[in-house]
A and B are shown apart, each in its own frame.
Chain A
Amino acid sequence: MNDQRDDLAPDPAAALAIIEQQRRQAGLTRVSNAVLFAVWGLAWLVGYGALWLSGRHGEVSPASALVFGACVLVGLVATFWHVTRRMRGIVGSGPRTGAMFAGAWVVGYAAQGMTIGGLARAGASDDVVQLVANASGALVVGLLFLAGGMMWRSPGMYGLGAWMCLVAGAAALVGLPGSYLVMALAGGGGMLVASGLEAVLRRGADRA
């Protein structure tokens, strides 16, 4: 059944409006940096915030470590849900590149875990292990965002990547317990700011 109206030509202004509206619709098939930065910004703010609150006065409590773990888990679930929902039914080099990017995160964090394990085994103190864990965690994020920013020509992601590399350095330099605060506020907060900037400035021009 073909509606008669389907064949009418819209006037130029209406046509441009339709084109813009459909461009935004097509944006629903791309992963949103604004969403992912917000998810992880919040996860870092709450997770590292909990570690700082308990680690301020001495040893980090098991409860705060659980909160941190829960934040990471929620972040992973939310990321997976968002990406699969947006990319459903899309095939081509876009999804393939995205899959390689996801793989890079797995490899990066696996390497981070092995590095920390190696340092602990070599006799590094708990404090040193914690500092390296924080710094290397932020460094993995920073380098991968620099790479992603280059790949998708996203100044926002690239800038956030550079920032997270600095956060990594700062998190090590300030020592414990300030390191957790740096991760929470500069790391988590930095991602939240980047999310806001992406949402406001990019407005539907998500990564291709």
Chain B
Amino acid sequence: MIHAQARLRVVATLAPFAPGDSISFPRLQKLLDMTAGNLSTHLRKLEDAGYVGVTKTHEGRVPATYVALTPAGRRAFEAYTEQLRALLG
């Protein structure tokens, strides 16, 4: 699930954040250089898989969306990374 290229990029960008920290949708979009629609689609799939948590909130009257890996997402990424390293020796 993670291994699909675009979703790997999303998860790999979220992984370095400390648990408890999250990033706004626009900032994440800029880091990934993706269109909003593209990123939305990938985030939805990752959310459905339980790997990403999306929090919608309000700052004053402006809606804001924040994204972070879930503990399950973190574990899946670490397992995947270990697998890759094992494959490459």
Interface set of A (CB-CB < 8 Å, partner B): 1-3, 5-10, 12-13, 15-16, 18-19, 21-23, 25-29, 88-95, 208
* The 5 A-B residue pairs with the shortest CB-CB distance in the complex, in nearest-first order: A89-B27, A92-B21, A89-B24, A22-B12, A6-B6
B26 interface contact, C-beta 8 A: yes
Q: Is the CB of A25 within 8 A of B4?
A: no
Residues of A within 8 A of B85 (CB): 16
Chain B residues lying within 8 Å of A90, measured Cβ to Cβ, are: 21-24, 27
Interface residue total, chain B, C-beta cutoff 8 A: 35
User: What CA separation (Å) do A21 and B12 show in the bound complex?
Assistant: 9
Give the complex CA separation of A208 and B18 in angstroms: 7
Name the residue of chain A whose CB is nearest to the CB of B81: A19
Query: Which residues of A sit under 8 angstroms from B60, Cβ to Cβ?
Result: none
- Taking a contact as CB atoms under 8 Å apart, the answer to whether A93 and B21 are in contact is yes
Measured between beta carbons, the chain A residues less than 8 angstroms from B16 are: 23, 26-27, 208
Report whether A2 and B8 are in contact in the complex, using a CB–CB cutoff of 8 Å: no
How far is A9 from B9 in the complex, measured between Cα atoms in Å? 11
Between A and B, how many residue pairs show CB distances below 8 Å? 101
- Per the bound structure, the CA–CA distance linking A168 and B88 in Å amounts to 50
Determine which residue in A5, A25, A27, A95 has the highest number of CB atoms from chain B within 10 A of its CB, and name it. Answer: A25
Interface residue ranges, B against A (CB under 8 Å): 3-9, 12-18, 20-24, 26-28, 31-32, 35, 37-38, 41-42, 66, 81, 84-85, 87-88
Contact status A12-B12, CB under 8 Å = no
User: What CA separation (Å) do A29 and B85 show in the bound complex?
Assistant: 26
Q: In the complex, how many angstroms separate the beta carbon of A24 from the nearest chain B beta carbon?
A: 9
Contact B24 A92, beta carbon cutoff 8 Å:
no
Q: A16-B88, A26-B13, A91-B22 are in contact. Are A1 and B38 (CB under 8 A)?
A: yes
Separation in Å of the A29 CB from the closest CB of chain B? 7
Kindly provide the distance from the CB of B3 to the nearest chain A CB, expressed in whole angstroms: 4
Residues of B with C-beta under 8 A to A91: 21-24, 66
A1-B20 contact given A6-B4, A7-B4, A15-B3, CB 8 Å threshold = no
Residue numbers in B under 8 Å from A21 (CB-CB):
12
Smallest distance from the beta carbon of A176 to chain B beta carbons, Å?
46
